[in-house]
Chain A
Amino acid sequence: MKNPSSAAPGRPSTGNGAASLSRFARKIPFDVSSLGMIGALIVVMIVGQIIYPAFLTWTNIGIILTQNAPLGIVAVGMTFVMISGGFDLSVGAIYAFAATMFAKIAMDHGLVEAGLCTLLLGIVCGTANGAVVALWRINPFIATLGSASIFSGLAFVYSNSTPQTPDNPNFQILGQAFWGPLPIAVWLLFVTVLLGGFVLSKTVYGQALYAIGGNETAARLSGLRVGLIRGSTFALVGLLSAAAGMIEASRLAVGQADIGGTIPLDAIAVVIIGGTSLLGGEGSIWRTVVGLLILGAITNLFYSLAVDSNVQLVAKGAIVIGAVGLDVWSRRRR
């Protein structure tokens, strides 16, 4: 179920009018308190349009979506992890490892084999994370900080620290080709968002994630397999990170182990800016989409205004801390 109508408590409690009102309230797919982030997005768009007249053109919007498709796909997975109360810092390493592996296998074998092996790699890495977190009860922050180092190191060893450049021309289809009006990568982002949103809001699995993130003990007492379900979110984000890495390798026509450094912070930033709780139990995919659009739009403006990339790093960090501060502040008020 979604999180219908924060207005509910104030409603009159009897009568048909109230019942139809509550039916109406339930149709609103989010609670009113979360409108803030949509407001922020609108402000960013208006300001963007003023200082950069080409901002709201189809071409520019297409660019924003294309550039952020891999990040968005990772962020969808990160949303699952964070709603269940976890955290994953190894997504960047898996992303880079996947890019490297996809390119290297594509040099000697078919693209399909390369793709399947890479996705499998993502699942294996993610499952390893999940197992460490669920079975050994290691704090996800530390577990994935450590595993990020392992995956990254393995990627360098595997590629002998050299960029992998397959000469197969089809290698670039995934990241550069169009299907209809939009790049394939953007379609993949759409599919991931829709599927992710559906699973999270409409399935038993999604409900279980919210329950585990919201109150682990309550979930355990209700008979849910807490460890297994929480672990599975890491496998999912591993898979999606690998897919994102493949798209990036294909877009750049090269797979190398030193990419993806900003992916963990960016993915977490996107989720938090959207308003998904850092503590778990609250959030949704549509929030992550809003977060992605905000961060994507800001980054786009920075580039179009030729802001120094180091200054961009400073600004992005400040935005993340600001968003978390906002989350903490709004939580304290209720």
Chain B
Amino acid sequence: MHQAESPATVASRHENAVTISARDVTKEFGGVKALKGVSVDFYAGEVHALVGENGAGKSTFLGTLAGRVSPTTGSLTAFGHMITGANPRASRAAGIVAIYQELTMIPARTACENVFLGQFPTRLGIVDHSKMRARFEVLCQKFGVHMDADARTDTLSIADQQLLEIMRAYESAAKAVLFDEPTASLGESERARLLDIIRQMKANGTTIAFVSHHLDEVLAVSDRITVFRDGSVVASRPTSAWTKQQIVTEMLGSELKSTLQQRPLRPTQMPRDLLKVSDIAVAGLLYPASFVIRAGEVLGIAGLVGSGRTSLLRALAGLEPATGRLEIDEVEKPAPRTPRAARALGIALIPEDRKGQGLVLSRSSACNVILGDMPSIARFRILREPVIMKAASAAVVNYGFNLNRLSAPARTLSGGNQQKLMLGRWHHARPRVLLADEPTRGIDIGAKTEILAALRKAALEEGLAVVIVSSELEELLVVSDRILIMRDGHMVDTLDCHSDDVDVERILHSAFAVHAASLHTEHA
């Protein structure tokens, strides 16, 4: 990277050398073929995007390059080295660094120490802190950010931590960087910044592999797009030869009948106010906000990471020491301080981190569904197996969940099916207000549509008030009746999605105080 071969060759792709080459790579997991003979070439100074639905094999393929997954057959070469077996150190030695959605920061160390982890600049064997700090400042300048070198890493936002992760890769002079869903947890402006950094790395001659569900982003940043479907490569072309619709078509294998093309219908009845929120606030994170949530309505919340949108949701769910009052059915209560208090008010949360905070992965799907309300199906506190199965089936059947999987541990399900379990849990427990934090994160396109439609249906047909926080503005726009906008801990605006002049640009302009144009520069 610093010692990148020759940035001049960037101009023409065909003069670039093949740096990483995969030939006929297959991978079987207990008889299931996750990869069926994949051959892909990566070039120096090129951003190569890998797209496909969940389970298409792109992450497994990335794993073979990173040395996390050992291929069953086939060969991998990187910078002249053979990569064999699951050996992350060998891949690292060949010059490959992988950056995953899950961060590998040590929370209690400083930003600076995390960047230089394992490669501390030393003087006579002693860590040279002033040199380290100087190099950190250089990195910050290069990336165009300001960050406190001595801040404990766990006090930084996820976006900043991810940036540190990338700085670490940069500092280690990686010749190839593999990004697996790097933007999933980032807000719009952080995404734009990350894409700029990727462009910069590319200009230095770094080989970049990029896995993302976010097709606009893929089109904006990549030079070549390879589509995976069912463990095979189905198409690989320069980005200029792709349109978004073509990519989706290849991913799904057939034309996507998008149910998300239209705006939501205005509810037929005048919705009544269900929950009145007055001056809800969290010290340091959320300034007093007041708004109303109506029965049968989907309320979207948009904002940057760190804008207070998640704090607002957490405050409603009883996860923050919030102040303020809630009024449900004309009874006023203080803001909940525990999830249990929130549940007593009829408020339930689908957390962003399904695996970490939503599901008990070791337990069966059925057990996960009934977890939201067990006493109601118990007799004398005793739960009978058939009763559990019946209640769980009833809760998930409408979400297209395969009922034969109800006995399977939640761990074995795909992201989309896991999210359906969360929906099922609250369908079973019947709250009044359903909060969903990034409900479509990390879920493939087909299931995304289903999840959004299910949330919409919960509002319209069951009269729930649904509140959704999402970074995917287009999704938010098609699923919400109103969108509440947060910036720097303040509630700054409320937009009515049924009016004609509300679109992504309008939200961006209003919410992020930036022009949308800056985001999609290369793509348009």
B339 contacts A215, CB within 8 Å?
no
Within 8 A of B (CB), among A118-153: none
CB within 8 Å for A222 and B364 given contacts A1-B383, A1-B388, A205-B381: no
Determine which of A4, A13, A204 lies in contact with B378 in the assembled complex, contact meaning CB atoms within 8 Å: A204
How far is B338's CA from A8's CA once the two chains are assembled, in angstroms?
36
CB within 8 Å for A223 and B339 given contacts A204-B375, A214-B360, A215-B357: yes
CB within 8 Å for A217 and B356 given contacts A8-B408, A22-B407, A202-B383: yes
How close is B104's CB to chain A, nearest CB, in angstroms? 18
B383 contacts A8, CB within 8 Å?
no
A214 contacts B362, CB within 8 Å?
yes
Within 8 A of B (CB), among A223-248: 223-225
Is A221 in the interface zone, CB < 8 Å from B?
Answer: yes
A203 contacts B381, CB within 8 Å?
yes
A221 contacts B378, CB within 8 Å?
no
How close is A79's CB to chain B, nearest CB, in angstroms? 15
Determine which of B371, B402, B409 lies in contact with A207 in the assembled complex, contact meaning CB atoms within 8 Å: B371
Is A208 in the interface zone, CB < 8 Å from B?
Answer: yes
How close is B230's CB to chain A, nearest CB, in angstroms? 17
Determine which of A26, A202, A215, A282 lies in contact with B384 in the assembled complex, contact meaning CB atoms within 8 Å: A202
Instruction: Map CB proximity to A onto B278-315 as digits: 1 under 8 Å, 0 otherwise.
Output: 00000000000000000000000000000000000000
How close is A153's CB to chain B, nearest CB, in angstroms? 35
Determine which of B367, B382, B404 lies in contact with A210 in the assembled complex, contact meaning CB atoms within 8 Å: B367
- Nearest-neighbor residue (CB-CB) of A205 within chain B: B381
Is B453 in the interface zone, CB < 8 Å from A?
Answer: no
Instruction: Map CB proximity to B onto A4-29 as digits: 1 under 8 Å, 0 otherwise.
Output: 11101101011000110010011000
| In the complex, chain A residues whose CB is within 8 Å of the CB of B344 | 223
How far is B363's CA from A281's CA once the two chains are assembled, in angstroms?
8
B351 contacts A215, CB within 8 Å?
no
How far is B422's CA from A221's CA once the two chains are assembled, in angstroms?
11
How far is B368's CA from A219's CA once the two chains are assembled, in angstroms?
10
A13 contacts B317, CB within 8 Å?
no
How close is A174's CB to chain B, nearest CB, in angstroms? 30
A221 contacts B381, CB within 8 Å?
no
- Nearest-neighbor residue (CB-CB) of B32 within chain A: A10
Determine which of A2, A204, A215, A222 lies in contact with B372 in the assembled complex, contact meaning CB atoms within 8 Å: A222
Is A160 in the interface zone, CB < 8 Å from B?
Answer: no
CB within 8 Å for A1 and B362 given contacts A8-B405, A9-B408, A204-B375: no
- Nearest-neighbor residue (CB-CB) of B375 within chain A: A204
- Nearest-neighbor residue (CB-CB) of B353 within chain A: A217
| In the complex, chain A residues whose CB is within 8 Å of the CB of B405 | 8-9, 13
How far is B373's CA from A168's CA once the two chains are assembled, in angstroms?
52
B371 contacts A211, CB within 8 Å?
yes
Q: How many residues of A contact B (CB 8 A)?
A: 38
How close is A200's CB to chain B, nearest CB, in angstroms? 11
How close is A317's CB to chain B, nearest CB, in angstroms? 28
| In the complex, chain A residues whose CB is within 8 Å of the CB of B372 | 222-223
| In the complex, chain A residues whose CB is within 8 Å of the CB of B412 | 8-9
- Nearest-neighbor residue (CB-CB) of B344 within chain A: A223
B363 contacts A204, CB within 8 Å?
no
A208 contacts B358, CB within 8 Å?
no
B382 contacts A4, CB within 8 Å?
no
| In the complex, chain B residues whose CB is within 8 Å of the CB of A4 | 364, 407
Is B456 in the interface zone, CB < 8 Å from A?
Answer: no
How close is A285's CB to chain B, nearest CB, in angstroms? 16
Is A220 in the interface zone, CB < 8 Å from B?
Answer: yes
B317 contacts A221, CB within 8 Å?
yes
How close is A25's CB to chain B, nearest CB, in angstroms? 7
> Can you sample 14 A-B contacts with CB below 8 Å?
A8-B405, A26-B407, A205-B381, A214-B361, A215-B359, A218-B358, A218-B371, A221-B319, A222-B343, A222-B371, A222-B429, A223-B339, A224-B340, A281-B362
5 closest pairs, A vs B, by CB? A223-B343, A214-B360, A8-B408, A217-B357, A204-B374
Having A9-B412, A215-B358, one finds 17 other A-B pairs with CB under 8 Å, namely A1-B388, A2-B385, A3-B364, A4-B407, A8-B407, A9-B408, A11-B404, A13-B402, A13-B404, A203-B378, A207-B374, A211-B367, A215-B361, A217-B351, A218-B360, A224-B371, A225-B340
